[in-house]
Amino acid sequence: MSIELSQINRRHFLALSSTAAAAGLAIAAPSVAIATEPLHGTELAARVAIRPFHVNVPEDALVELRRRIAGTRWPEGETVTDASQGVQLATIQKVALYWQTEYDWRKIEAKLNALPQFVTEIDGLDIYFIHVRSKHENALPLIVTHGWPGSIIEQLKIIDPLTNPTAHGGSASDAFDIVIPSLPGYGFSSKPTATGWDIPRIARSWVMLMKRLGYTRFVAAGGDVGAQVVDELGVQAPPEVLGIHTNMPGTVPADVSKALNCHEPSPSGLSADEQHAWDQLDFFYKKGLGYAIE
């Protein structure tokens, strides 16, 4: 069944997806329950509670950070004038000096605290997230997952255009309710104390988070590691997930992957557009991966 989203309103879309799933048109993988100990009463209520969150980093922590940056023992400089031996020492020193003397954490803190922030416990971990509801009716629920080595900071700029599209040249029918969680171990989400928090487990946890927020149908988007999470949501295909969007598709032909990783010439017979895309990928593989290459 193919339906143009632009031809129907959000409420109709949600209803249609529910009908399709009930009719067997959406094939879902077997659900996998997240294991927890049986809970009752007040303990259960505490586990599923959604708690407001406010960022307040102590000033002495910021002072200590600046002291450690200032006390950095720098290595000797490189023997070349380009980046063939890595990032130039002078560049790193410039960034460190900015971090020490100019970077305004309190400004970022205020920006975060101006948004609705929450924490909830899922499978033993406190998961931090931002949750902004649109003022428009029938807004489509959307969960957005950041990547590595990024954070939810990267998503702040998309919140208003997505939740308040009429202020950015769009229409009310374009509106989303947006949920932006921090991956386990990132930002203000708890760090796992044992192995097992793999991509499938995170994907299942995101479904639980959205259900806990009252969303029975939603869409998901992500990039980098976040792309892996939304891909997994597509693989698991729980009935709550209407669709996914990724800005990093992970399907690369074997010959292309080998050539990129081995810095070989591009495959023959590429069109002009394909060659342009290849050149961008080749540059990124050589210059953009940083220490991930190790």
What is the H or E stretch that residue 39 is in? none
Structure tokens at 227: 């792309």
Quote the pLDDT of residue 117.
Answer: 98
What is the H or E stretch that residue 148 is in? none
* Whether 170 and 24 share a structural domain: yes
Quote the pLDDT of residue 27.
Answer: 30
* Whether 215 and 278 share a structural domain: no
Model confidence band, residue 46 (pLDDT cutoffs 50, 70, 90) = low
Specify if 191 maps to a domain.
yes
Quote the pLDDT of residue 6.
Answer: 46
* Whether 194 and 263 share a structural domain: no
| Most confident range, picked from 29-43, 246-260, 268-282 | 268-282
Specify if 90 maps to a domain.
no
Specify if 77 maps to a domain.
no
Quote the pLDDT of residue 82.
Answer: 87
Quote the pLDDT of residue 292.
Answer: 66
* Whether 276 and 198 share a structural domain: no
Q: Does residue 3 sit in helix, strand or coil?
A: coil
Q: What is the 3-state secondary structure (H, E, C) of 83-127?
A: CCCCCCHHHHHHHHHHHHHCCCHHHHHHHHHCCCEEEEEECCEEE
User: 92-142 pLDDT, tens per residue?
Assistant: 999 999 999 999 999 999 999 999 999 999 999 999 999 999 999 999 999
Q: How many domains does the chain have?
A: 2
* Whether 162 and 271 share a structural domain: no
Residue 85 clears pLDDT 50, i.e. is over it: yes
Quote the pLDDT of residue 263.
Answer: 85
Mean local confidence (pLDDT), 83-98 = 92
The residue from 246, 262, 280 where one domain ends is 246
CATH number, domain containing residue 150 = 3.40.50.1820
The residue count of the chain comes to 294
For 289, the domain range is: 254-293
**Structure-model confidence comparison of residues 41 and 81, the more confident one:** 81
Alpha-carbon distance of 69 to 203, in angstroms, equals 36
Quote the pLDDT of residue 158.
Answer: 97
DSSP 166-195: GGGT--GGG-EEEEEEPPTTSTTSPPPSSS
* Whether 258 and 240 share a structural domain: no
* Whether 205 and 268 share a structural domain: no
* Whether 190 and 286 share a structural domain: no
Quote the pLDDT of residue 30.
Answer: 31
Specify if 222 maps to a domain.
yes
Average per-residue pLDDT in the chain? 85
**Residues in Cβ contact with 19 at an 8 Å cutoff, skipping those fewer than 6 apart:** none
Mean local confidence (pLDDT), 251-277 = 87
Mean local confidence (pLDDT), 5-18 = 48
* Whether 128 and 195 share a structural domain: yes
Mean local confidence (pLDDT), 184-188 = 96
Residue 22 clears pLDDT 50, i.e. is over it: no
Quote the pLDDT of residue 281.
Answer: 86
Half-sphere exposure of 191 (CA within 13 A, CB side): 2
φ, ψ for residue 260, nearest 5 deg? -65, -45
* Whether 172 and 263 share a structural domain: no
Mean local confidence (pLDDT), 143-165 = 96
Quote the pLDDT of residue 18.
Answer: 41
**Structure-model confidence comparison of residues 16 and 145, the more confident one:** 145
* Whether 22 and 119 share a structural domain: yes
Percent of the chain's residues with pLDDT above 90:
67
User: 209-254 pLDDT, tens per residue?
Assistant: 999 999 999 999 999 999 999 999 999 989 999 999 998 877 777 8
* Whether 150 and 226 share a structural domain: yes
Residue 35 clears pLDDT 70, i.e. is over it: no
The whole-angstrom distance between residue 265's C-alpha and the CA centroid of its chain comes to: 33
Specify if 1 maps to a domain.
no
Residue 24 clears pLDDT 70, i.e. is over it: no
